[in-house]
Chain A
Amino acid sequence: MRRLATFPLVLLGVSIVVFLAIRMVPGDSITAMLGTEAGLLTPQQRDALAAYFGIDQPWFIQYWRWLLGLFQGNLGISSTYGRPVLDVILERFPLTLELALLSMVIALVVGMPAGIFAATHNEKLSDLGVRVVAMIGQSTPNFVLALLIIYTLSAGFGVLPAMGEFSPLWQDPRRNLGQLLLPAVTLGFAFAASVTRISRSAMLDVLCDDYVRTARSKGVSARGVIWRHALPNALIPVVTLSGIEFGYLLGGAVIVEQIFALPGLGRMVLDAILQRDYALVQGSVLFIAFNFMIVNLLVDLAYVALDPRIRLSEH
């Protein structure tokens, strides 16, 4: 509960940091918005534009106005899109959410069985194999993997990843999944490697515990011990890790989106920073930080729910 109380405080801190930081970026947003045509503006036109975007006031008045707007669900107008910031964000978010979910599914479906397999075949050659692959997976940057996948597909099979106009899930599910599959595999690979490593070590820990030994001596089958007794407890660290990774992915995968030409949140924020789109940067960073903190909070709650021995007050 104490964590919940500091929640708005941290968000306030995040918003002030972003607000000041983006205003420290050299250059002004009107020139960035209009490019060379900015030179054609009369001083009056320039002032009118600045007033329209509310950037003619000192920063603390701008901040106060922005904060007031925030409570009314108004995050301001993006100078690059000429539309409300919230609309722009919500248009990009489904892709990012879908990509994060797909990556997590891939990571769990591949990583958990691999980790459990390695733990139950401890110190055998197959365990070593899984560990080596997981270590390599964890050390491969996603942009290296993305390029390797694209290269292998195009050089080996003459196929290119589906690029072009992005189709949302509800319009054309097949095309949508075709477009998101490779980016999801790219992001899911390192994620799966972490899941493998953590489920292996959690499972090994649990298998050494007293209650597992008791279950074994009662005559519970090897399968029964793993599924009924060991797995539920080994799940706890897996849930924590997956939650944190998922929270990161919700912030958008800047480089992978760039490589696969996907219009996700990550690329939007990068472009907004480069374009000095103040309102969009402020809004989206706050949105991302908010999601990230919510996910972390849920992870903590799941942690307590799964392991009754833990009370958060100890931390």
Chain B
Amino acid sequence: MATLRAIFAHPSGRIGGAIVALYLLLAVLGMLGLTPHNPLTQHRVERLHAPDGTYWMGTDLFGRDVASRLMTGIGQSFIVAFFSVAFATLAGTVLGLAAAWFGRRWDGLVMRIMDVVLAFPAILLALLIVAVAGPGTSTSVIAIAIVYTPIFTRVVRGPALSLKAREFVDAARTFGSSAGYIVTRHLLLNLVAPLTVQVTLALAWALLTEAGLSFLGLGTQPPAASLGLMLSDSRNLMETAPWLMIFPGVAIMISILGFNLLGDALRDVLDPKMRRSIA
């Protein structure tokens, strides 16, 4: 509760929180089908219709309503972002904790594997994974999760190592607490703050990558709507129908801005010391 209040007292937290909440609402409405029009229906007579009272953001080349497609597209992007970051957080936390707890060879092995993954530029690795598994929503989730796992592993391993050496862990051991109890109770609980910050920033990055992959035609497949795909389709119609580019473009930008602002606020609130090293 105190944390929530602190985030709302933080100017970027307020703005970022409001943006994220608004997008969540749009995403849920889009997923429930509560859009102004059916996002897939082609109003052939009204192709490339400029924005007006009926079509708030105009229509595309096939006469589909841009506002409705934008809402389902946001839903699509958010699903990919949430699932990929959830997988990356889970995998990274387990690997990072294991590396820190078991130490030695296990630590060396895990961290070297993570070095290999980190040596690939992120977008290239994602492209390679998509090429292997074939384009689509679930592949995007897997690709983004794999790319982001090493970062979570590092975020967890470092602090976990120093926590492991602290007195309260020794004390817990002397009391006969099991390893599982110590790792979840004493290590994991103390890692919640840095993990929350990282998750928020990772969500911003996942939205960006999802949009990039679908822009290249390797993410969400047509006729389903996705922000990157809409933007890519708008390229040849830029002069006749600029709304096709401007709305999805700005929508992507603001969604990322929202998570970045929220992440900044969380970092200030949860861990004032971290501001120095990561900012």
Contact = CB atoms under 8 A, between A and B. Distances in A.
Contact of A154 (B208, B239, B276): B239
A11 interface: yes
Given A138-B260, A144-B249, A201-B275, A255 B212 contact: yes
A26 to B, nearest CB: 7
A138 B124 CA distance: 21
Given A13-B112, A136-B257, A251 B279 contact: no
Given A135-B261, A139-B253, A141-B212, A151 B242 contact: yes
Contact of B134 (A17, A26, A147): A26
B120 interface: yes
Contact of A273 (B113, B128, B256, B264): B128
Interface in B218-271: 231, 234-235, 238-239, 242, 245-246, 249-250, 252-254, 256-257, 260-261, 264
Interface string A142-181: 0110011011001100000000000000000000000000
Contacts, number: 126
A70 interface: no
A141 B116 contact: no
Contacts of B253: 136, 139-141, 144
Interface residues of A, number: 49
B242 A143 contact: no
The CB with the most chain B CB atoms within 10 A, among A144, A197, A252, is that of A144
Nearest to B259: A139
A31 to B, nearest CB: 15
A244 to B, nearest CB: 11
B119 interface: yes
Given A139-B204, A147-B238, 12 more contacts: A13-B119, A22-B131, A138-B260, A141-B211, A141-B256, A144-B253, A147-B231, A155-B239, A251-B121, A254-B212, A266-B124, A281-B128
24 contacts: A11-B119, A13-B116, A18-B128, A21-B132, A135-B257, A136-B257, A139-B257, A140-B253, A143-B212, A144-B249, A147-B231, A147-B238, A150-B238, A151-B239, A151-B245, A151-B246, A251-B124, A252-B124, A269-B124, A270-B127, A270-B216, A281-B128, A288-B124, A289-B120
Interface of B: 12, 112-113, 115-116, 119-124, 127-129, 131-132, 134, 204, 208, 211-212, 215-216, 231, 234-235, 238-239, 242, 245-246, 249-250, 252-254, 256-257, 260-261, 264, 275-276, 279
